[in-house]
Structure formats: C-alpha cells, structure tokens
Amino acid sequence: MAGVQGSALAIAVSNAGGLGSLPCAMLTPTALRDELQALRAGTRQPYNVNFFCHTPPVPDAAREAAWRSALAPYYRELGQDASAIPTGPGRTPFNDEAAAVLAEFEPPVVSFHFGLPAPQLLACVKRWGARVLASATTVDEARWLEAQGADAVIAQGLEAGGHRGHFLSDDLTVQMGTLALVPHIVRAVSVPVIAAGGIADAQGVAAAIALGAAGVQVGTAYLLCPEATTSAVHRAALQSDAVRHTALTNLFSGRPARGIVNRVMRELGPISPLAPAFPLATAAIAPLRAKAEAHARGDFSPLWAGQNTTHCRTIPAAQVTRDLVAGWGRLAD
C-alpha cells in the first residue's frame, strides 16, 4: 500500500504470521535499500516486496493543459500559482536498478501490479528463487500471468481499495466482484489463487477459502494500525461516515483506484477523461492535496479504501493479522 505504509507494518504482519508486504512503487533505490535493511532487521519471517510495472506513458501536453484547466478553479481558490507546478511521473515501474537492490537482499516473495515486468527482468528476481505473485482482475489476465511465470495469482475483486491492477483491458465493466471472480480464476489456472477485495476479518477469510482461494490479500483493514503511515486526513475519513461511500476514481493518478468519495471526486466526477495517463495525473493535483491537508482537509487526497471497512480499527497490525488467520480454522475438510 504505497503511500500509507513502510517496513514497520510489513514487519508487524510477518511477525504475526502473515506475509508482510513492502510497497516499493514510490521508493528511490536508496530508500528501497533502507527499507529492506529495516525489514531484514525486524523479522526472520518471509516477506513480500511489491512493485508496479506499468509502461510509462508519453506525456501529452494538450491533455495536461486540459487537466490543469479543469483544476484551475481550485488553484485559484487555494491561492496557488499553476505555472509553478512541476510535471513528473511520481511512480517508477520496476526496473534494473530496483532489481539490483533486491539482489542484495533476495526477498522470498516479489509481487507486481499492472502485469509483470519484461521476461529478462522477471528472470532476475527468479534467479534467487523468489516466488512471484501478480494481480489479475479478469480470467484473461490470470491466464496471461500464469503463462508468463507467475507462481500465484492475486484475484483482485472490484471491492478492493487502491489501484485496480488491470493490464490487458481498461474496460472496468469486464471486472467482477470478489465472490464471482475467485471461482472463475480458480477454474482457469492451476497456480494458487489469492483472493483480494472486501476481505477484512476471519469471516471474509473463511468465505475466500470456501471459494477455492489458497490465501487472501488484505489491505484496508490495516489502514488504521499504528504501524501504518496513513495520513491524519485519511485516518479521519476512515473513521467518519464518509467511509460508507467509496468509488473508483482516476483523478489522483490517472488510473482507476478505489477511494473514499471526497470533494474533488464529487465535483469533477470520480472518473474524468481529462486526467492524464497514469501516473502523470498526480503532479497537477499534488499541490492542492498538500495545501488542503495542511488545513486538515482531504478534499484533494487519494483516500484509498476498499468497500469493506467494517474492521478498520486503531489496533496493532499483529491483532488484525491474528484475527484474519483465525479464519482458516472455520472450514471443515
């Protein structure tokens, strides 16, 4: 969960019996090395490192200008000089440099969002025996991932918070809820399937296992843990009534991701055709976010959350993890 956690949460989860995950999409090579050192110092249990592997888009000046023009009323309202706002990617896909840092640590599990890196690059992480996980939002994507060498497929249902992991089609209407998606993918591939989306407690784990999943991926339920770096405005939103309404939005990065509906999503609509391609949309909205957050407002913040927030509580990650693990005992053989 890039932006809301670092190694501390991953360590707590791994030490409690889960597979803690380090989001690396927004880390420089130096920061990545620091985090991996912290992880290695903090746990002797397996852990996962997660990367994005999108193809960086060609910047489109006209679209960028149209997007900034849509945001212009907000720049004026918040007293910001639009011409001083830089452009820039914000997120780097997995690359040779990151692979070189990983090789120093040989993490046991590496996961990818938005497909898989090129075969040569994927081979790098397989060299030390890392198990490779990747997200699929459709049966086609699951089959593709298996064919390309993924050791397990994460079936990401529509309930999931944060970025949709699709990479073969950006048509959101082909994507399914977790309850429908998991059985489809379990039937389509022979590698283990990890259910993601809407799972927040032992009941959800038992449900996923009943559907044929070999494991679950849980994010939202950890957002209020003290080990997470979730911002104050994000935490406040998660604890407010606003959490009852999430939507898929591309306003914050250019790709659809599920977050709590806030002012900019309401006013521009959660999906805008003007938002530049991922990850370029981030730059123009970032200063609005910063200014609003400085006044304790999340009007322009990506408040990522899944649809099931019934178990978001301010409790240690170890407790969340143990509650989830208890779900495995619920099913009779």
What is the token pair recorded at 30? 């130096």
CA dist 171 and 77 (Å) reads: 34
Contact 331, 209 (CB under 8 A): yes
* Helix (H) / strand (E) containing 186: helix 178-188
Least Å from the CB of residue 253 to a second copy: 18
Q: Which is nearest to 134 in space by CA: 118, 119, 149? A: 149
Instruction: State which residue, 176 or 238, has the beta carbon closest to a second copy.
Output: 176
Q: What is the 3-state secondary structure (H, E, C) of 67-125?
A: HHHHHHHHHHHCCCCHHHCCCCCCCCCCCHHHHHHHHHHCCCEEEEECCCCCHHHHHHH
**Would you tell me which residues interact with a second copy (CB under 8 A)?**
139, 157-159, 173-174, 176-181, 183-184, 187, 197-201, 203-204, 206-208, 210-212, 244-248, 261, 270, 306-308, 310, 327, 329-332
Least Å from the CB of residue 128 to a second copy: 35
Instruction: State which residue, 82 or 268, has the beta carbon closest to a second copy.
Output: 268
Least Å from the CB of residue 141 to a second copy: 12
Instruction: State which residue, 153 or 199, has the beta carbon closest to a second copy.
Output: 199
Least Å from the CB of residue 177 to a second copy: 3
Least Å from the CB of residue 132 to a second copy: 26
CA dist 49 and 100 (Å) reads: 14
Instruction: State which residue, 36 or 155, has the beta carbon closest to a second copy.
Output: 155
Instruction: State which residue, 6 or 327, has the beta carbon closest to a second copy.
Output: 327
Q: Which is nearest to 263 in space by CA: 239, 285, 230? A: 285
Instruction: State which residue, 76 or 266, has the beta carbon closest to a second copy.
Output: 266
Residue bearing tokens 């918040």: 78
Q: Pairing relation of β-strands 47-52 and 20-23?
A: parallel
CA dist 178 and 176 (Å) reads: 6
Instruction: State which residue, 12 or 176, has the beta carbon closest to a second copy.
Output: 176
Least Å from the CB of residue 229 to a second copy: 25
CA dist 252 and 316 (Å) reads: 29
Least Å from the CB of residue 164 to a second copy: 13
